[in-house]
Amino acid sequence: MSADHDITETLDAQGLNCPMPVVKSKQAIDGLASGEVLEVVATDPGSMSDIEGWAESTNGVELLEQIEGDDVYKHYVRKTDE
């Protein structure tokens, strides 16, 4: 997979542990318009499952992609009309 998304905003959540990447992601996505994409960059391996679970259980949020790199995890979330 590749991160070929039209990114509106990047959230640097590096160094933050659960649940802060999700908390910060929610705050950031609330400030976006429908259709805009938030890139979340985290160092917490738990962010992979945490952000996926948050996106699945939250109306108005669509998880587009997750990329696991060398100690860095990137998440791409789109705000939707729901």
Catalytic residues: 18
Quick one: 47 exposed, middle or buried, by C-beta within 10 A (0-12, 13-18, 19+)? buried
How many C-beta atoms lie closer than 10 Å to residue 82's C-beta? Answer: 9
